[in-house]
């Protein structure tokens, strides 16, 4: 008789046959059930790994002695825009149209208020029409955002464009791209800027605000080349806006504008882009002192050369409004560029600055009328 402490001792009323009984369920069913459990855990593990892989910090593109455009994986790069009113939605569409026309193969991304939708209610629903045009004609990736303070998609009664400028900082979080280029939408794009995707590694690259020299040596946010990362986005967003319920939101009541914030954070570390190519203002054709643009007092200003070198022109002609605003006729006569010889007289000459200036505005307005014309997306039945 084994001792009472023997671990395999059975009760007296249990037979030896009961001890060796196997379950009525077939072994194959048991095996299948266990495999289903294992498969479920494997699926969860793969999903977690995939999410971590998507959020990984990607290394910058390797330096290339020459850009072989046919060998580039263009899904790694993007141009970004943001729109908070119908007016600026049209501006963004014009930038996307120019990128398409100029042959850029990089992705295009648009940030817009989540209150907007892609349902065309009627012919007056211009915002939805323009969003659909961006998505289907120019393959734009649409990203809705919660932007506080947006009142009216038409722009009536809403805050100024400066108040929403921090929305462009969302580009820092587009970490699925190795590099993004954010360009202000109030521009006329003359050449593609794809070469900027292949700059040496740097978090931010910006042109200098040359029109403020020499009093202020700061960078301009009209063009920002960004090396996105989720970590950098948290830093930038945290510096610009308070956290609410654990999430970063764009709050229009904060008047620390994007240019000020970016200079505070990157003014001493950003790569400086040449402003002749990446920062020309339309107002440069109205001034007679071009030393700030040229960077010296001995070089001769050549408006045709400046136009040929520029990748884009940013419309800034205070006190003249932006080009989509109709001007009073007397303002045009007063503020247009002056000729070099005998200005304001029948004998005036040397008016090339004026000719180019007018051509730029005329080209922009014609293009705007064509790109943002009334579209044919039908209203829902």
Summarize pLDDT for 78-124 with one digit per residue, the tens: 999 999 889 999 999 999 999 999 999 999 999 999 999 888 887 77
CATH number at residue 346: 3.90.550.10
Q: Is residue 292 part of a domain?
A: yes
Residue 265, C-beta contacts closer than 8 angstroms, at least 6 positions apart: 235, 236, 239
187-189 sheet: strands from edge to edge: 187-189, 312-314, 280-281
Specify the pLDDT at position 49.
Answer: 77
End-to-end CA gap in the chain: 89
Residue 122, C-beta contacts closer than 8 angstroms, at least 6 positions apart: 379
> If pLDDT is split at 50, 70 and 90, which confidence band does 18 have?
low
Q: Is residue 31 part of a domain?
A: no
Q: Is residue 44 part of a domain?
A: no
Look over the chain and give the mean of its residue pLDDT values, rounded to a whole number: 80
Contact 60, 180 (CB under 8 A): no
356 pLDDT higher than 80: yes
Specify the pLDDT at position 63.
Answer: 42
Task: Dig out the tokens for 265 from the structure.
Answer: 């954070």
Per-position DSSP letters for 84-135, written without gaps between them: SSHHHHHHHHHHHHHHHHHT--SEEEEEEETT--S---STT-HHHHHHHHHH
Q: Which residue has the higher pLDDT, 49 or 187?
A: 187
Least confident piece of the model among 59-68, 138-147, 327-336: 59-68
In eight-state DSSP terms, residue 338 is: P
Q: Is residue 338 part of a domain?
A: yes
Q: Give the integer Cα–Cα distance in Å for 79 and 74.
A: 11
Specify the pLDDT at position 52.
Answer: 65
32 pLDDT higher than 90: no
Phi and psi for 39 in degrees, rounded to 5? Answer: -65, -40
Q: Give the integer Cα–Cα distance in Å for 197 and 212.
A: 27
Specify the pLDDT at position 358.
Answer: 92
Q: Is residue 45 part of a domain?
A: no
Beta strands (DSSP E) in the chain are: 77-82, 107-113, 140-145, 147-148, 179-183, 187-189, 204-207, 223-226, 243-244, 247-248, 250-251, 271-273, 280-281, 312-314
Specify the pLDDT at position 161.
Answer: 42
- pLDDT one-digit tens code per residue, 140-163: 999 998 876 544 444 444 444 434
Q: Is residue 117 part of a domain?
A: yes
Report the length, in residues, of the chain: 381
The boundaries of the domain holding residue 306 are: 69-371
Q: Give the integer Cα–Cα distance in Å for 23 and 373.
A: 75
- Average pLDDT, integer, range 239-268: 62
Classify 242 as helix, strand or coil: coil
Q: Is residue 57 part of a domain?
A: no
Q: Is residue 229 part of a domain?
A: yes
279 pLDDT higher than 90: yes
Q: What Å distances lie between residue 213 and 267, 283, 291, 356, CA to CA?
A: 15, 15, 10, 24
Specify the pLDDT at position 64.
Answer: 46
Cis peptide bond upstream of 319, omega within 30: yes
Domain count of the chain?
Answer: 1
């Amino acid at each position: 008789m084994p001792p009472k402490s023997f671990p395999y001792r059975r009760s007296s009323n249990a037979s030896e046959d009961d001890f060796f009984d196997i379950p009525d369920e077939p072994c194959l069913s048991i095996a299948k059930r266990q495999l289903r459990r294992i498969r479920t855990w494997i699926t969860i593990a793969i999903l977690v790994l995939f999410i971590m892989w998507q959020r990984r910090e990607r290394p910058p593109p390797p330096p290339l002695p020459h850009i072989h455009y046919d060998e580039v994986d263009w899904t790694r790069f993007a141009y970004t825009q943001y729109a908070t009113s119908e007016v600026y939605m049209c501006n963004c569409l014009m930038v996307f149209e120019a990128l398409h026309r100029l042959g850029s193969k990089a992705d295009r991304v648009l940030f817009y208020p989540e209150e907007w939708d892609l349902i065309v209610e009627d012919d007056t629903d211009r915002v939805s029409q323009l969003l659909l045009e961006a998505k289907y004609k120019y393959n734009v990736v649409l990203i809705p955002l919660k932007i506080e303070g947006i009142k009216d998609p038409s722009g009536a009664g809403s805050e100024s464009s400066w108040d929403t400028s921090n929305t462009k900082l969302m580009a820092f979080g587009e970490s699925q791209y190795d590099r993004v280029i954010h360009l202000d939408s109030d521009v006329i794009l003359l050449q593609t800027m794809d070469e900027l995707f292949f700059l040496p590694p740097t978090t931010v690259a910006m042109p200098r605000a040359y029109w403020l020299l020499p009093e202020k040596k700061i960078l301009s946010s009209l063009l920002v080349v960004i090396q996105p990362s989720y970590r950098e986005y948290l830093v930038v967003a945290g510096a610009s806006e308070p956290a609410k319920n654990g999430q970063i939101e764009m709050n229009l009541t904060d008047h620390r504008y994007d240019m000020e914030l970016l200079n505070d954070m990157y003014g001493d570390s950003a790569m400086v882009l040449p402003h002749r190519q990446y920062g020309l203002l339309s107002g440069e054709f109205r001034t007679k002192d071009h030393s700030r643009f040229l960077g010296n007092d001995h070089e001769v200003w050549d408006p045709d050369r400046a136009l040929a070198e520029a990748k884009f022109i940013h419309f800034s002609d205070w006190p003249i409004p932006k080009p989509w605003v109709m001007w009073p006729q007397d303002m045009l006569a007063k503020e247009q560029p002056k000729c070099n010889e005998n200005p304001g007289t029948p004998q005036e000459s040397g008016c090339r600055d004026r000719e180019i200036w007018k051509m730029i505005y005329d080209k922009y307005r014609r293009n705007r009328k064509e790109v943002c014309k009334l579209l044919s997306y039908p209203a829902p039945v």
